[in-house]
Amino acid sequence: MARELPLRAVAAQIIQAVEQGESLSQCLPHTAADLDPDLRPQLQALCYGTCRWFHRLDSELNGRLRKPLRRQDRVIHHLMLVALFQLRFSDNATYAILNETVEACKALGKTPLAGLVNGVLRAAEREGAPEPATDEARYSHPGWMIAKLQHNWPDQWAAILDANNIQAPMTLRVNTLHGTRDEYLERLREAGIPGEATRFAPHGIQLERPVPVDLLPGFNDGDASVQDEAAQLCTQWLQPEPGQRILDACAAPGGKTCAILEVTTNQAEVIAIDESAQRLPRIQENLDRLHLSATLKEADAGDTDSWWDGALFDSILLDVPCSATGVIRRHPDIKLLRRETDITPLAGIQSGLLANLWATLKPGGRLVYATCSVFPQENSRIIRRFLDQQTDASLLPADAPWGLDTGYGRQLLPDPQSHDGFFYACLVKGRPEECQ
């Protein structure tokens, strides 16, 4: 279908699939593979932008429709959302947006609705964007998420929502086995790619604007990786050392696995686990590009009987499955995919993984619990309950120049000019002084 339909029609089909439960990471690669390579960035921009502003655009469109479209015509609703996104947030010529959207409507086999599409969009262009009537429209987030953030972060909720609506910067992690950050910054300057050192991650560089990875000096040779600054901080908490036996649970796509190996000069025994067989090759691709080695296992990390050989780990990185509410700016489809009812089951999974993997850690060893969530239900409350129940677990001090001390770990909130939202807590088996 992608080869036969106008780009806006393809985008409308993808947005419809997202509203039905598929992620952009599932839909886009499959669909874009049938497109001219020059059109793929445009399709991505349409889909990501429409998802980012979905709730505001949907509120406006519903206000302009006398009645909802029939279920079988729902794709035209999404087609008009794509057009509204372009009207409100792009520099595309208005006449092209209107005319090409009407043609896309016809290409989708919905010619009888072409007049409706034309009338709605011409009114939208003539009248301009309405003042948002609700917080859901104003902040372009689902109402339940806004309410939860207001409750959890009464002083920061609006800033979190605003940050989520700003496209995230492109951040690199320099492979220090191949050179220093300063050296790589100089290579970027020579290549005409402006960037600056990250504030908190010692090997990070934030680019002034995103670029294709093939343009990055030495990328294919493993000189750098793309990784947000918040995610890079995992090694500061884990403090891995050469010769250690280290577990990276829930490891895909492998960015943190590789960061651990870089810090340990590829001399640690790292076991990386993921339950998805489809995601393991991505880890191996990253390892190969960076010339690193680890043992990969397809397994449920919490089902230790199915994969653990009984040898205790010096350190464990447990980056648990979560709501991903700290990375919405990178994955705006989360606003459509996530439900409030997801949070309690996720917290159960997180608690189970933490309890089960604790048995595989050496006395005096560290376990770093991490999420890309901003909800305490998945973060500090998990750690608090675990410490109440586990007599041989201690929480190391959460001293750091970044984030907020929750009392049970450190919370980074998304920064529009910097890092994603992330949570870290470092647990030691035994007394804290045993791991100093």
So which residues are the catalytic ones?
A: 372
Under 8 Å between Cβ of 320 and 369: yes
The label of the residue with tokens 């990969």 reads 296
H-only helix segments in 277-321: 280-290
Distances (CA, A) of 37 to 31, 34, 40, 91: 12, 9, 5, 22
E strand map for 138-262: 171-174, 195-197, 204-207, 224-226, 245-249
Distances (CA, A) of 113 to 1, 19, 61, 191, 270: 20, 21, 15, 50, 57
Backbone angles phi, psi at 185, to 5 degrees: -60, -40
Structure tokens belonging to residue 346: 């996720």
Under 8 Å between Cβ of 232 and 174: no
The helix/strand/coil state of 23 is: coil
Q: Which long-range contacts (CB under 8 A, 24 or more apart) does 61-64 make?
A: 61/120, 63/130, 64/120, 64/123, 64/124
Under 8 Å between Cβ of 174 and 259: no
Distances (CA, A) of 410 to 153, 229, 333: 14, 15, 26
Between CA 105 and CA 100 the distance in angstroms is 9
Under 8 Å between Cβ of 425 and 409: yes
Under 8 Å between Cβ of 267 and 242: yes
The helix/strand/coil state of 54 is: helix
E strand map for 186-268: 195-197, 204-207, 224-226, 245-249
The label of the residue with tokens 């901080």 reads 233
Q: Which of 249, 253, 248, 241 is nearest to 270 (CA)?
A: 248
Under 8 Å between Cβ of 43 and 28: yes
